Structure 1
């Protein structure tokens, strides 16, 4: 299996990306095709003592920055590392693509270069987030600010397939993010989506309020991209807030530092549960080929886990399963 990686995308590329690629080759026995400037990547690999065994570099013309417009991946910077990687995937030079680069450009580029499965118009960004008893998938995490009810139904189907195939959760519970538990609550979009989800083959558990999200109310949480991105960023921020608050409480004096030593195993477990690097990345669900969006601040461990996620996506043939359901998009544009 060969995984294509954007060698220049993200805050910590190429250093952490190269180390993550090395770890993935060693751990999963995959080949890695990295897109980027060959001389630069080889120089960094030499400087950091990262062997390039099992790693090939595909020449690309620089990186797409976070400040670039999403459409630049198709226009002014169509030979950047992200665009070259997406085209390599479309051409069959690899089995999946991983990038920590510009999210908007990745959505635009993936949709145009890779394309969506039949019956789907737009991919959904689908991060995996922690809750008290495990984790859940959020769709959409920000790829589609405006959605139609049919799209939310599609998100529910795709999320359920992923959770069952990749995380072995049988009959995943699907919830709809809303401002109240009652069926009539929320916007017209929420009410119409509720009716579609309720009458579908999914194990729909109804509306999920914000306060219930961290407590395992569902395995798949469906929302439009505007709402979903707020949920995603809030949970990321709350994780950092809680970590910093706990650290501050346990470093006040010698007594609290002693208590921290006693509680260290539990605190490490909490830290690991809240650490985004453990979850790899957010797949773009609904594309014809696997694309994983790694966190922009990914370190080597996060890149390695993003490759692990891509490998599982390919092995479990998630896309074929999605194509088999083929939920229709109606007039969703």
Structure 2
């Protein structure tokens, strides 16, 4: 296979560079054609690299970055004043075609702002979207977007999200004519605000999208759709709500376990089960969230990601590179625009 290069921000995230180092080593061992560019302080990276075998060292390039974007830093400040940061550098590498894709666990708002500025959106795309896979019943999965990249979206932007989500499901999940739905307060056509209704009309009129109508919040995990579209305000609240619900269940089981010895036995069985559900319900930690609609591939790993979680993000980036996802989105958008002008 042809050489594939990813740029990694080793200073993003809450758990330190060793998380990214461990994931990087595993990825290199499992993917022979993979090369990595690690971006961060040279002293930290050199100490780790010097301990690796020569065949691993040969596939790693170090890029010294004296600045770091803090997790609570304002996106505008990071964009203006952190031009030598590891986050900015990985995006520059993609822009300059030195890397095929990049991954960061850092400040989401800053990553969105800098990526949008450096890479720009694809022709026909107004705004990028943050998308990830969400688990459904029977071990299924659904692409859910937007997870919070854009709080306010008009019908045109939501329509573009549907196109991009459809391409992802088609190319990455290998679903022919993926079923696309809009998240709404009801499944009836009369339900919803003007924004949702106008988007529904655009999707109904398009021959390039397999639009199946509205789904409600309780349908997100039902496997009714392969792609569910909403704005970032609703999408982020939905994501945080289902994460919080599972965490609430874990805490309630722990409290109940204090009642007697029988409840303690039940809790010891139930808590690991709920924890596994909790991990599945955190899409950006379990799979890596993708910032799609840009002229380059950007994957956002969770700030509190483990090395295993970051490895999922690396795999996601590799898949998108090999499937040429930005090119496929560009082709689909062009077809949609031609359809409208006919």
Flag whether TM exceeds 0.5 (same fold). yes
Q: Which residue of 2 aligns with 1:109?
A: 114
Q: Is the 8 A contact 1:28 1:308 kept in 2?
A: no
1:33 to 33, 37, 40: 37
Partner of 1:331: none
**Which blocks of at least 5 consecutive residues in structure 2 are unaligned?**
338-342
Pair 1:248–1:95, CA change in 2 (3 A): farther
Match of 2:243 among 227, 233, 236: 236
Q: Does 1:293 find its partner at 2:297?
A: no
Q: Aligned partners of 1:121 and 1:128: how far apart in 2?
A: 22
Classify 1:86/1:242 alpha carbon distance in 2 versus 1 (closer, same or farther; 3 Å).
Answer: same
Q: Decide whether the 8 Å contact of 2:94 with 2:101 is kept in 1.
A: yes
Number of matched pairs = 326
5 Å matches for 1:142-153? 142-153=148-159
CA displacement at 1:264 relative to structure 2: 9.5
Correspondence 1:164 to 2:170: yes
* Residue 263 of structure 1, CA deviation: 7.7
8 Å Cα contact 2:280/2:286 also seen in 1: no
Q: Which residue of 1 aligns with 2:16?
A: 13
Determine whether 1:119 maps to 2:124.
yes
**In structure 2, what is the equivalent of residue 184 of structure 1?**
190
The alpha-carbon distance between structure 1 residues 264 and 103, as it changes in their structure 2 partners (threshold 3 A), is closer
Q: Indicate which of 36, 49, 58 corresponds to 2:63.
A: 58
In 2, the alpha carbon distance for the partners of 1:171 and 1:240 equals 35
Higher mean Cα deviation, 25-34 or 149-158? 25-34
In structure 1, the partner of 2:73 is 68
Contact 1:4–1:35 at 8 Å: present in 2 too?
yes
Contact 1:149 1:192 (C-alpha < 8 Å) held by counterparts: yes
- C-alpha distance in 2 between matches for 1:186 and 1:243: 34
The partner residue of 2:100 within 75, 95, 101 is 95
**Which deviations, in whole Å up to 9, do the C-alpha atoms of 1:112-170 show, x marking residues without a partner?**
11111111121101122112131111111111111110111111111111112111222
How high is the TM-score relative to the length of structure 1? Answer: 0.89
Counterparts in 2 of 1:217-296, with a 5 A limit? Answer: 217-246=224-253, 253-256=260-263, 258=265, 270=277, 273-274=280-281, 276=283, 279-296=286-303
Q: In 1, distance between residues paired with 2:78 and 2:19? A: 23
Tell me: CA distance 1:224–1:21, structure 2 relative to 1, closer, same or farther (3 Å): same
Distance 1:66 1:272, change over 3 A: closer
Q: Distance in 2 between matches of 1:265 and 1:84?
A: 39
Q: After the TM superposition, which of the residue ranges 272-281 and 100-109 deviates more from structure 2?
A: 272-281
Provide closer, same or farther for how the CA distance between residues 217 and 84 of structure 1 changes in structure 2, counting only shifts above 3 A. Answer: same
Report which stretch shifted further, 120-129 or 68-77. 68-77
CA contact (8 A) 1:73 1:82 kept: no
Give 1:261 deviation, angstroms. 7.5
Q: For residue 186 of structure 1, report the CA deviation from its aligned partner.
A: 1.5
In 2, Cα distance between equivalents of 1:262 and 1:67: 37
One of 127, 138, 142 as aligned partner of 1:136 = 142
* More displaced stretch, 276-285 vs 74-83: 276-285
CA RMSD of aligned residues (A): 2.5
Any unmatched runs of 5+ in structure 1?
Answer: 329-333
CA–CA distance in 2 between the matches of 1:319 and 1:46?
Answer: 32
